[in-house]
Structure 1
Amino acid sequence: MRHTWRWFGPIDRVSVTDAAQAGAVGIVSALHHIPTGAVWPVEEIARRQAEIAAAGLVWDVVESVPVSESIKTQTGDWKTHIANWQETLRRLGEAGIRTVCYNFMPILDWTRTELRWSARHGAKAMRFDRIDFAAFDLHLLQRPGAEGDYDSQTRAAAADRFRAMDDDRRAALSRNIGAGLPGSADGYSLPQLLGLLETYAGIDRQRLKQNLFDFLAEVVPVAEQAGINICAHPDDPPWALLGLPRILSTAEDYADMLAAVDHPANGMTFCTGSLGARADNDLPAMARRFASRIHFVHLRNVRREEERTPCSFFEDEHLEGDTDMVAVIAELLAEEARRRAEGRADHQIPMRPDHGQEILDDLTRGAQPGYPAIGRLKGLAELRGIERALSHRTFGLAATGQTASGLS
């Protein structure tokens, strides 16, 4: 795999040089300062490439070109926003970018109730607490109709939890859940969030799926012409939130999406952390099933604290948690071997160590939550070690003749 590193631009407290020292060869970045729905200026694309090249790295993957709420709901300026998305793809293709990640989550991107929860040995990790989230929805946001989305035990536990919270904890919970896209300056107050929720009235899961398929029908042909693979990131967490449907949470969701616009340029961002929050998602099997359409990989691990969906979970160390990372990497390496044999230009799949616990000097650096320097370096080193061992001519799959599926 091609080892990459997410970088949020000059505002990031983890530098491109840090990424190079950690062992990355490519950078995953985006122009977070460009308003959602606007065309990315050519000069801004070139500036970001130059910032990355100064550290001897290349801009490998765009994560992400945001999909506006207008596109998701097919309201307002949605057709203009699609045209702008297409033009941005053309400009990125001309600049040599070959992979663009995006998501189709309504309003909220990844959602956590705690951004720096105390894990073992004093490390800090992101966490989603099911009861805290219900307390936010029912008692802070006071979303109309929210009671119907929770069972009686959850409602009772959420009421107790809310009463036990002081004002600081309530404010922090609102900030954490109302945060916008990673790296952006966006964020939603409670009134703003309630207003945005109203724009999804009447949009159920099937309607949102169809809106995604309509979007893909417009942008995939442009991506092909531009020489770009686009890849949809899964929902995080992979279940409905705040009464909003989520449509890329399971294997069947991805099967529907890939069949709706059945073209090699239309693919998947395989995020083991997002998909791994559901006990019914078999990650090695999913990697095997969608292997030819996996254009980008996020490797991280979560620990489910209860075997139910939705559940509480936290971001564990990369080789811990509930996902069999060795089996997943074996499937990805087997796919790369198949691609090389077929002569595919995209035989090397870009991968980044996603998220990471804050450890050592991370604890005082104040980086973007989930994106520490040392925690990700540790994760990348561990993942590279697995990849190297599985690929070794003496001890790896090639030596034993074993298939990747035999490890999972």
Structure 2
Amino acid sequence: MKQTWRWFGPHDLTSIDDIIQSGAEGVVSALHHIPNGEVWTPEEIALRQRQIGTRKDGSPSGLRWDVVESLPISEDIKQQTGDWRLHIANYQTSLRHLAQAGLEVICYNFMPVLDWTRTALRWRLAHGGTCMRFELNDFAAFDIHILERKGAGDDYPETVVEEAGRRFADMSDADKITLARSVTMGLPGSTESMSLADMHTHLARYGAISRDQLRAHFIAFLEKVVPVAEDLGLRLCCHPDDPPFPLLGLPRIMSTGEHFRLILDAVNSPANGMTLCSGSLGARPDNDLPSIMAELGDRVHFLHLRNVTRENDAIMGSFYEAEHLGGDTDMVALIAAVLAEEGRRKAAGRIDWEIPMRPDHGQDILDDLNRSAQPGYPTIGRMKGLAELRGITKALQHSAVRYQDA
């Protein structure tokens, strides 16, 4: 696996110099300042490449922009409304510009409205650090009593609805503001929350779009962009839903291995692939990560390695971000499956045999606690995670160890 690091640009509290010291071999980044649906120009792409390639003192960093995360898909495309055809054409143009700049791996997602959802961004752990958490009763309190979404109470078990009511009644005004801000923070690259009015507007725009309709819209998008990507030698890879179950009455279509299989079969091309995020998929008890890697590994173009601890066994349940080798996903077995896939690719002569990986998220520990970094992206917590993942990889590749084929 090629070890990479997510960087949000010059405003990121983790600098390029820090990334070098972490031992990462490449950078994952995006042009978050360009509105969804607009073209990524060659000039903006080249600027980001120069920023990644330069240390603070102006000397070469030795790093390159290896993975785009993400080239976002507009809500118009997901809903097939407004300027969706123009946005697809712009997406195709952006792909051409990225290919001209030498980029090959493009991560994206097809989640409606929010890219991820948590109820606490800095939940206190027993060791004194913090992490992100999704707590179902708190989310229901937001959905039913703060957002006041019509029919929200019908989407939860009666016990959850009752507990959500009790929690809301005990919340101070400050608690309500904090919860709402946490839930609506899920726009990677942004430090601003979406307002409740914005949420209602977005939810209303989806109207009666069903899961099958959203999937049809996704396939229609892929039918337009995948042939372009294949001609350009690009590898597109969809990120799973986070969390991997329906929220806010919105459909979810990329939450399980079966969901990915449907999309990969519908547009069957090596350019149409998967970002295997062990944290997102691992939040569901029915997702077996090593098995998913073994089955779909041929189309896995990018890896997010992180872990979560599920607080119950429900499909829609609570969880928190665990240490990378803790939690409910067997990370050793997953990495073994990845290495087995890489071995098969190398033997077959594939140029993409080495799959880029990044340590996803991380717990805020030590000096992270004073830095107020992007939620989920602490410097030290991710360095710890990368070191642990690197150690497992080194051990499994050692001549004294034989890992099983997945």
TM-score band (shorter)? Answer: over 0.9
TM-score calculated relative to the size of structure 1: 0.97
The answer for the alignment partner of 1:276 in structure 2 is 282
Work out whether 1:371 is the aligned partner of 2:377. yes
CA contact (8 A) 1:239 1:310 kept: yes
CA contact (8 A) 1:138 1:147 kept: yes
Q: Give, as a single letter, the amino acid of the residue that structure 2 aligns with 1:42.
A: P
**What's the offset of the Cα at 1:187?**
3.2
Work out whether 1:319 is the aligned partner of 2:320. no
Q: Give, as a single letter, the amino acid of the residue that structure 2 aligns with 1:116.
A: R
CA contact (8 A) 2:5 2:27 kept: yes
**Counterparts of 1:1-400 in structure 2 under 5 Å?**
1-54=1-54, 55-184=61-190, 187-397=193-403
* Unaligned runs of at least 5 residues, structure 1: 398-402
2-structure distance, mates of 1:317, 1:230:
28
Residue 3 of structure 2 aligns to a residue whose secondary structure is: strand
TM-score calculated relative to the size of structure 2: 0.97
2-structure distance, mates of 1:180, 1:147:
22
Relative to structure 1, the CA distance from residue 39 to residue 269 in structure 2 (aligned partners, 3 Å threshold; closer, same or farther) is same
CA contact (8 A) 1:389 1:396 kept: no
Q: Give, as a single letter, the amino acid of the residue that structure 2 aligns with 1:217.
A: E
CA contact (8 A) 1:327 1:404 kept: no
Identity of aligned residues (%): 58
Residue 122 of structure 1 aligns to a residue whose secondary structure is: coil
Q: How far does the alpha carbon of each residue in 1:319-347 deviate from its partner, in whole angstroms, 9 at most, with x for none?
A: 00000000000000000000101110100
CA contact (8 A) 2:77 2:221 kept: yes
1-structure distance, mates of 2:221, 2:18:
37
Relative to structure 1, the CA distance from residue 125 to residue 180 in structure 2 (aligned partners, 3 Å threshold; closer, same or farther) is closer
- List 4+ stretches of structure 1 deviating above 6 A: none
1-structure distance, mates of 2:320, 2:405:
28
CA contact (8 A) 2:191 2:374 kept: no
Residue 279 of structure 1 aligns to a residue whose secondary structure is: coil
**What's the offset of the Cα at 1:184?**
2.4
2-structure distance, mates of 1:264, 1:73:
26
Work out whether 1:404 is the aligned partner of 2:402. no
**What's the offset of the Cα at 1:186?**
5.3
Q: Count how many residue pairs are aligned between Structure 1 and Structure 2.
A: 400
Q: How far does the alpha carbon of each residue in 1:99-128 deviate from its partner, in whole angstroms, 9 at most, with x for none?
A: 000000000111000000001210110000
Residue 361 of structure 1 aligns to a residue whose secondary structure is: helix
* Unaligned runs of at least 5 residues, structure 2: 55-60
CA contact (8 A) 1:180 1:186 kept: no
2-structure distance, mates of 1:107, 1:70:
11
**What's the offset of the Cα at 1:396?**
3.4
1-structure distance, mates of 2:338, 2:38:
35
**What's the offset of the Cα at 1:185?**
5.0
Residue 225 of structure 2 aligns to a residue whose secondary structure is: helix
Q: Give, as a single letter, the amino acid of the residue that structure 2 aligns with 1:80.
A: L
Q: What value does the CA root-mean-square deviation take over the aligned residues?
A: 0.9
